[in-house]
Structure formats: structure tokens, C-alpha cells
Structure 1
């Protein structure tokens, strides 16, 4: 089963194209901002306005890694665990092997003074926000969410900047899986910034980020998990998304 939904709210693009593993799969609405810091920050504010009981991990409680001794296969945070499932970075000259880091050494929390990468940075752009979680060019990275939350949102910087494509696969507590393919629709410029938000009518248990390129990683920051205050909120969002999505299909 596939669902294609799209709309625009206050300059914020909302879009999804899912392959769903079960006919009775839950409803999933997706916020995907346009590129750029200001647009991404506006998208975060819009997304959070739907939620209650939120918890955010900004990675400021971590010491930024300075070499591979600060890399880990699993990084436990206040909102869940990030795990490197498949390494990338084939080749000794690739950036994830620079400055004492290792492409095969795991994930890392970085800041702008220690990062071997150009184009990844912390968001939102505000004083005191210096760190982010870096995929270290992993081809697969999983985020396992702690608790039964129906919403998750985060910033992403520098995806697809060397021509790779990024898919995100979700699992909910009914064990249904959703695959959102080529989420940014092709190659992006170096340092592109986005905000992504996902709201479901059942708890989201994990996200797996899959890149088809060995040298195309990204940074993640300000990861928020939360609940939807009213059951009708998701339904109303869905009606708006469905209506605009149908309009766009007719034009095509």
C-alpha cells in the first residue's frame, strides 16, 4: 500500500511517499521543510505546535569527540539510542577517516571545531547550541525511541551532498514498517539544512536511515519526541494533506 500526501503551510512543505508493510498500517503524517536554516526553524516551530509532553535531545550534554576514541556503535541519549548498523566511508582518503576519526569506528557527537566534515553544523542557530550527532557517513543508522511516543522530529544537515539518496524506514508498535524513499528527491548542495517531523496514530518505535552512498553522511540535532494532544489533530492534518495531494496529482 502506498500513500502520497503533500501540502504547504506557512512556506513549510509537507510531503511523504510511503511503501507500507501492512494493509492495516497506521496513519503517518510527515513534515519536511524546504532547505535553509530559517525555513527549517520555522518548520520545527510549526511541528512542535501540534505536540504535548515533549522531550528534546540537543546533544549539549555530550563532550564533542576529537578522534575515534569518542566514536561509538551505540550512543544513548535522553530520547533513545542511535546505532551504527552499516559503516560507510570506503577508502582511506574519505573525510570520516580525517583528523584521527575512523569511518568504521561508530557514530560521534561533534562540534564545528572537531568535525572532519564541511557542511554539518548545529541547529537551531542559537547561542549555546554547539553539538550535533553525526552519522560518520554510516550507510545505515538506527534510532530506537525510548518510550511510547507518537511524534518525532529533528534537524538534518548536509544530506545527499555527494549525490547519494537517503531512505528512512520506520517501525511502529504494531510492527508495521514504512519506507520513505529518496526523502530529499535527489542530490542536495553542500550544507543543506532541513527539519523533518513525523506524527503517527500509534507509537513510533524506530527509524532506520539508509544511504546508498559510502561517502554521504549527515548531522542530526534537536531530536524531539512527544505526544499528539487530541486524536482529531492527526485526522485534521490528514484531511488537509490529502486534499492538496489530490490537487497536485490532478495537475500532473
Structure 2
């Protein structure tokens, strides 16, 4: 039984502990999720988007050692060693659709082939690039093959509080989800930690996920954007929203 836990540690610009984040998780058919992601992206005023299509060398088979850190236009992703390393150690892979050995993980870029694969790492840390900070308020990204059985999104704030968001588990192999997060204006630094855990809290060393089409930037009145997005939720789609 797999559980993927994403923990976002957020540090505000001051010592105040009221920085907040509003998160959404959308799932459904691939077409529905892709439509929602396209709608969400269309609302950004300024943005940087990472598709993993340019400037990367894909790893043949998806299982070879591609190193512990992958630097991207939206920050760095690092596989960190845990008490139980993943099947391929503390590694990551920029994978390609025709050569990957992993079932269910996929590209979401129109006309593209690549995505960033966890390579079955038990812990992956994403240090977001917020430069300039004034142009940052929101992020969105696709996750594939996540939450086959059970999954939660935990957001840890600088005061130590946490919240859990159901990543819509019990979904089939190869499922696609779109995750969004809106950050309080006081946030100047953000980090998301992906922990691959089993239901009993132990590390899952032979399971993983793919991430693609990450957008980081600024949107106007993001709460209104989220409400408009509800119009795209057809039969079979589901949504979870949490606000700290």
C-alpha cells in the first residue's frame, strides 16, 4: 500500500506565523485534467514554465543513475538519502516516453515526450525559485501515477503547523492529477518535500511518480480563478481545497 506525502515548508518574510497557502488537487480523465491545467495556466500574469523538453539529457530506460540533483527553471529537485534508499538509490531521471521502464508515468506537454521522474526515490526535495519574489504567488503542476492506493499532501508552515489534503487516492495506475497552490504575499521562500511512504509509515523503495509542466508565477485574485475553474469539473472529476 503506497502513500505519497508532499510536505511544503514555507518561510515568510517576517517572524509572523500567519502565512497561508490555498491548495487544490484536481483529478479525472487525462483530457479533463489537461483541460483544467490549461485553464489554470491561462490566468497567469507573469510566469516561468518548466516542461523538461529543452536543455535536458533524458536517461535511457529511466532507471539509470542520472544524479541526485536536477536543476530547472523553477528551482532544483534533489533526491535525498533516507534510511531506506529507493530502488535506484538517491537518484532522479528526466525520462522520455519511448524508453521509460516505469508504467503509468507520463509527459503532459503537447507535442512533448519528457517529464521528471522520481526514479523511485523515497525522498525528493523541490527548492522553488522565487525570483523576483514580487512576481510570485502561485504554482501549478501535473503529477502522474500518484496515489494508487492512498496519498496525502501535507503543508508545513514556519510555525510548525500542518494540514493534510487528500491526493485522491485509490485511483488506477497511470492516473493524472493537477496540483495548484496559492501562497500568502509574505512568502519569500518555499520548499516542497515529496516523501514516498507506506501506510505504516515506512519508506516505499519501489514506487514513484512523474511531474511535468510546472508553472510558477503570479495570477490575479487566485481565489476567483479557482472558482471559475469549477466550471471545468465534469463527471468523474474531483477536487479538494484546503486553506491554512
Query: Normalised by the size of structure 1, how large is the TM-score?
Result: 0.69
* Structure 1 contact 201–234 (Cα < 8 Å) conserved: no
User: What's 1:25 paired with?
Assistant: 18
Name the structure with the higher helix share. Answer: 1
SS at match of 1:165: strand
SS at match of 1:122: coil
Corresponding position: 1:63 with 2:49: no
User: What's 2:139 paired with?
Assistant: 152
Evaluate the alpha carbon distance shift between residue 39 and residue 168 of structure 1 in structure 2; reply closer, same or farther with a 3 A threshold: farther
Q: Deviations over 1:84-103 (max 9, x none)?
A: 1245987xxxxx75xxxxx2
Root mean square deviation, CA, Å: 3.3
1:1-252 to 2 correspondences below 5 Å: 24-61=17-54, 62-66=56-60, 70-86=65-81, 103-124=88-109, 126-127=110-111, 129-147=112-130, 148=133, 149-161=136-148, 163-169=149-155, 175=158, 179-181=162-164, 183-202=166-185, 203=187, 205-213=190-198, 214=204, 215-229=206-220, 233-234=221-222, 236=224
Deviates more, 1:149-158 or 1:178-187: 178-187
Question: Over alpha carbons, which structure has the higher Rg?
Answer: 1
* Structure 1 contact 85–140 (Cα < 8 Å) conserved: yes
Task: Return the structure number with greater relative CO, CA threshold 8 A, min gap 6.
Answer: 2
Residue segments in structure 1 that go unaligned for 5+ positions in a row: 1-17, 91-95, 98-102, 242-252
- How many equivalent residue pairs? 205
* Structure 1 contact 164–212 (Cα < 8 Å) conserved: no
- Counterparts of 2:144 and 2:80 in 1: how far apart (Å)? 20
Residue segments in structure 2 that go unaligned for 5+ positions in a row: 1-7, 199-203, 230-244
Evaluate the alpha carbon distance shift between residue 48 and residue 240 of structure 1 in structure 2; reply closer, same or farther with a 3 A threshold: closer
User: What's 2:239 paired with?
Assistant: none
Query: Normalised by the size of structure 2, how large is the TM-score?
Result: 0.71
Q: Deviations over 1:129-185 (max 9, x none)?
A: 100000112222111111232211111100123x353434456xxx45664535324
